[in-house]
Chains A and B, each alone.
Chain A
Amino acid sequence: MQQVFSIPNSMKKDFKYTFCPGCDHGIAVRLVAELIDEMGLKEKTICSTSIGCSVFLYDFLDVDCIEAPHGRACASATGVKRANPDKFVFTYQGDGDFASIGLAESMHTALRGEKVAAICINNTTYGMTGGQMGPTTIMGQITTTSPAGRNVDYNGYPIKIAEHIALCDGTAFSARVALDTVPHINEAKKALKKAFQVQLDGLGFGFVEILSSCPTNWHMSPEDAHKRVREEMMPVFPLGVFKDITAEVK
């Protein structure tokens, strides 16, 4: 028998995930590592990491990483790419990092058509600080800072990130995927590959929003958390490709 599934080479030797049990971050990082292996990018990759549960990416991925302050990963990635147009540059951020504190940097990086890829993990909460209301918290969702549920009078509405990024002229690819089932995980990998490829082809900004579970802060079992992704998140954040300039117009 041959080994058909193993830890990607682009993971650090003896890495130890610090994510909670059942957290989808682990899968997202694995997909990135698999693609870096498959696309032969390891030697030319520079990653701009963010603050939040994603912060220790540099302890997991065996690629060059620069730590960006909270929300500034896209700005820092812009700097890396402008100084090194031949490198493969991506950010790995949470929704709070990408779409709240860093919305200006994220949006303008897309508008400039910066040749970088951005990955945003949307779990509708601030995970690392213990489950507060974030920019993607859905209406009625109970968090530690919306104890009565997100309410429009107090809190306004959540942001649909992938759709907003798709509206930016500099965006080459924008999609929303999920990690709740194995078929969706396969789809997510395809979307990430496309987001990486548009950068390599010099076409513009590549973006993937990944709907992810947060069993710990949602107070759910990992399986129930995936059920919530399907039943509560997907109606608000529909999966799909919102922009792909490489696709033929049908």
Chain B
Amino acid sequence: MKNNEKVLIKGNYAIAQAAINAGCQCYFGYPMTPQTEIGEYLSSKMPELGRGFVCAESELAAINMVIGAVSTGVKAMTTSSSCAVALMQEALSYACGDEVPVVLVNVMRAGPGLGYIYPAQGDYNQSVYGGGNGDYKIIVLAPSTVQECVNYTYRAFYLAQKYRNPVILLADGLLGQMMEPASFGENPYPEVDVSSWALTGAKGREGRAIYSCAPDEKKQIQHIYNLFRKFEVIAENETSYDEFEVEDADIILTAFGSMTRNIKAAMKVLREKGIKAGCFRPITLSPFPSKRINELAKQGKDFVVVEMNMGQMLKDVEYSVKGQSKVSLINRPCGEWLSVEEIVSSVEKMVEVSYAAGI
């Protein structure tokens, strides 16, 4: 296909093709609905390109294969879904401690436990806060369209190597399974110089080791401080978000991932009904755009968090607002996506209640 040609493509395939375009040299994965098509797509493409592909024996093995591959300076990724991403938490903590550029795509399904293949957004906490041990942070990108799946896959590979930190592309079953027009273009990011740390064999230099363990307490403490200094730089440089019509808004609908589509539509309907609504959508869930939310809250704008879980991003919005305005939640744990009508009527009720209470 030509680079700028728009093609109708499924989210999962779009992620797979974008990974190829981004220069992903190895893919390691294990089947799990609703992301299995990524592995299926790459199982034929990667060998054609002479690149690595392994059907791993488990997600545990898959992500550790990625750690091995990326430690040598090449780009590699694994993809999975919610309960299997839970299996990878140990390795994500290692990858952060080891400072290796792992790329993980999580196409969410419902939980807890096996849950089911209903769409859901219940992995916000798992991705942003993680289930691994110790102090670590992961860069989390949340696309809302198939085009963004392409764009953020490119970005994920770039950020992972630029900061030597794992990156999660957090999509959901809806996005993985839907078809939409998207164009691939060129990978817009430059190649990152990895020569100062990549394991390439001790040729003309001493042996290098990549590890997270320091039996010397001072070294371990310093290592964690260094990691957190790096996270500050990431927050400074890479925090990103979209906002729509927030300037005159009284109430700002906030969502991540594919729910962004619904709040944008709901905002238009609410405006037609005379309610001054705006939209705010974090692109990086980690680092979270707290500063901007805080600025908007200071102007007295209320926030309504709309998400397909029991209120996970809600906590980060509340933390960012710091009590300066009201924060409410419209949610459903999983299954049928909250419709525009449902969002509109919930917001209308909130406004009526506020009016009745004289707030």
- The A/B interface has a contact count, at CB < 8 Å, of 138
The smallest C-beta distance from B25 to any residue of chain A, in angstroms, reads 6
Q: Which residues of B contact A84 (CB under 8 A)?
A: 72, 74, 200
Q: Which residues of A contact B200 (CB under 8 A)?
A: 64, 84
CB under 8 Å from chain B, chain A span 66-101:
66-69, 72, 75-84, 87
Q: Which residues of B contact A81 (CB under 8 A)?
A: 68
The smallest C-beta distance from A48 to any residue of chain B, in angstroms, reads 6
| A68 engages B67 (CB within 8 Å) | yes
| B201 engages A67 (CB within 8 Å) | no
Write the chain B residue with the least CB distance to A89. Answer: B68
The smallest C-beta distance from A73 to any residue of chain B, in angstroms, reads 8
Write the chain B residue with the least CB distance to A81. Answer: B68
Q: Which residues of A contact B62 (CB under 8 A)?
A: 75
Q: Which residues of A contact B82 (CB under 8 A)?
A: none
| A67 engages B213 (CB within 8 Å) | yes
Q: Is A55 an interface residue (CB 8 A)?
A: yes
The smallest C-beta distance from B33 to any residue of chain A, in angstroms, reads 22
**Which of B49-57, B146-154, B299-307 touches A?**
B49-57
Given contacts A72-B60, A79-B26, A80-B69, contact A67 B91 (CB under 8 A): no
Q: Per a CB cutoff under 8 Å, which of B76, B203, B211, B212 touches A65?
A: B211
Q: Which residues of A contact B209 (CB under 8 A)?
A: 49, 58-59, 64-67
Q: Which residues of A contact B71 (CB under 8 A)?
A: 66, 76, 79-80
Write the chain B residue with the least CB distance to A114. Answer: B54
Q: Which residues of A contact B72 (CB under 8 A)?
A: 46, 80, 83-84, 87
Q: Per a CB cutoff under 8 Å, which of B58, B68, B76, B204 touches A66?
A: B68
Give per-residue flags for A157-170: 1 if the beta carbon is below 8 A from chain B beta carbons, else 0.
Answer: 00000000000000
The smallest C-beta distance from A60 to any residue of chain B, in angstroms, reads 10
Interface size on A, residues (CB 8 A): 37
The smallest C-beta distance from B74 to any residue of chain A, in angstroms, reads 4
CB under 8 Å from chain A, chain B span 211-266:
211-213, 215
The CA-CA distance from A154 to B316 in the complex, in Å, is 48
| B65 engages A76 (CB within 8 Å) | yes
A–B complex contacts, Cβ < 8 Å, 26 sampled:
A42-B201, A42-B202, A43-B201, A43-B203, A58-B211, A62-B206, A63-B201, A63-B202, A64-B208, A65-B207, A65-B209, A66-B209, A67-B210, A72-B91, A75-B62, A76-B67, A76-B68, A77-B68, A78-B65, A80-B199, A82-B52, A82-B54, A83-B26, A84-B72, A105-B61, A105-B64
Q: What 8 pairs between A and B have smallest CB-CB spacing?
A: A79-B68, A58-B209, A67-B211, A79-B65, A82-B52, A76-B68, A75-B64, A79-B69
